[in-house]
Amino acid sequence: MNKRKNIKRIAVFTSGGDAPGMNAAVRAVTRAALAHKLEVYGIRRGYQGMIENDFVKLEASDVSGIMHLGGTFLQTARSKDFRTYEGRKKAFESLKSHQIDAVVVIGGDGSFAGALAFTHEFDMPFVGIPGTIDNDMYGTDYTIGYDTALNTVVEAVDKIKDTASSHGRIFFIEVMGHEAGALALKAGLACGAEVTFVPEIQEEEVELDKFLAKDYKNKKRSGIIMVAEGDRAGGALKLAEQVQQKHPEIDVRVTILGHIQRGGSPTANDRVAATQMGVAAVNALLDDQKSVMVGLKNDKIVHVPLSKVVKTNRDFDAELLYIQRLINSAY
C-alpha cells in the first residue's frame, strides 16, 4: 500500500437514515486512521453539519464503548442545502477550515451521490461505506444494519404470529423498503409468511388470492402477509382494506413495524462487517483511491466506483420468492 503523502487529516460522518452498526464503522475508521498516524474529525449531523461547520476532533477514547450502540453517536440528517452548489461550497469551506484532506461517508446511495458530485466539483477524496437496512446497494453483498433490522423484524413477527394463531387472524406486516424488497423478502421467508409483497415483483396479488381462496378457508386459521412499504400494491393498509372488502368474514389486522427496525444493538454480523469496511475505507484513502465504495463480496473487501453504485440497481433475488411460493404450495 502506497501511502498518500498529502493525507494527514480525515473526516468521517454518517448520512441519511441511521442503521445499526454505524457506530462500529465510525470506531473502526477512527482507530484505523489513528493507527496510521492520521488526525480524525467527526462531522455531526451529516452533510448539514458539514455545511454548518459542526466538527469534533476524535481520539481513540472518544469511540470507546460505542460499538454495541444502535443509531449513530455523530447523528445524521438529510440536507436540502447540500443539493445546491452553494451548499456544497459552504461544506467545502468548512472542510478546508479544518484542513481535511479526505472524507469517509457512511450511508446509502443518496449519500454517495452527494459525495460523487462534491468530488467532481472540489476534488476532495471521498470513500463510502454502505450503511442502510435495505441491503440494496450495488456492488456489495452486505450493507451495515441489514442483519440487525432483519432480526428485529423476525422477532416482532414471531410474537405477532402468537396472537394471530390465537384469534385466527390474518396480519399484514409492513416493513421498510421504499424501493427495495430485500428486507421484506428474507423476513417473509424467515417468518414463514404466506405471501410477501415487494416493489420489484407485481404478481403477488395472485398469490394472495390463492391463499385466501384455498389455504386460509380450508386449512389455515391464521396467516402472515409480509409487505414492503414501497410495494406497488400500495402498502399494508391498502392491501388489508382490499382483502376486508372482498372477504368480510376474515379477521384482518395490520401492523406497521416502522422505526423499530432502525434501532437496537447491532448484531455480531453488523459489528464485524462495519469494522472490516471501516478499516478498508481508511486503507483505500491511503492507497490514493477516491470516489469508491468499500463493500463485501463473498466475505472479501471490494472497491466499487461510486458512479456505478449510484447509477446501477442491485439485482433482485427472485429465487427466494420462488422458494417461498414452492414451500407454501405444499398445502
From 8-22, 58-72, 195-209, the region with the lowest mean pLDDT? 195-209
Residue 45 has pLDDT above 90, yes or no: yes
Considering the domain architecture, whether residues 181 and 101 belong to the same structural domain is answered as: no
Considering the domain architecture, whether residues 244 and 275 belong to the same structural domain is answered as: no
* The predicted structure's pLDDT at residue 217: 62
Domain boundaries, position 230:
146-262
Considering the domain architecture, whether residues 270 and 300 belong to the same structural domain is answered as: yes
* The predicted structure's pLDDT at residue 1: 44
Burial of 220 (0-12, 13-18, 19+ CB in 10 A): middle
| pLDDT digit string, tens, across residues 49-83 | 999 999 999 999 999 999 999 999 999 988 999 99
User: Catalytic amino acids?
Assistant: 134
Report the distance separating Cα 119 and Cα 99, nearest Å: 16
CATH number at residue 155: 3.40.50.460
* The predicted structure's pLDDT at residue 173: 96
| pLDDT digit string, tens, across residues 162-199 | 988 888 889 999 999 888 889 999 999 999 999 999 98
Spacing of C-alpha 121 from chain mean position: 27
Q: What pLDDT band is residue 2 in, cutting at 50, 70 and 90?
A: very low
Considering the domain architecture, whether residues 38 and 130 belong to the same structural domain is answered as: yes
Considering the domain architecture, whether residues 20 and 136 belong to the same structural domain is answered as: yes
Residue 29 has pLDDT above 70, yes or no: yes
Give me the count of residues in the chain: 331
Phi, psi torsion values for 80, nearest 5 degrees? -70, -35
Considering the domain architecture, whether residues 135 and 150 belong to the same structural domain is answered as: no
From 84-88, 296-300, 319-323, the region with the lowest mean pLDDT? 319-323
From 40-44, 157-161, 176-180, 290-294, the region with the lowest mean pLDDT? 176-180
Considering the domain architecture, whether residues 217 and 298 belong to the same structural domain is answered as: no
Q: Where are the beta strands (DSSP E) in the chain?
A: 9-14, 39-43, 55-58, 102-107, 126-130, 170-175, 195-197, 223-228, 252-256, 292-297, 300-305
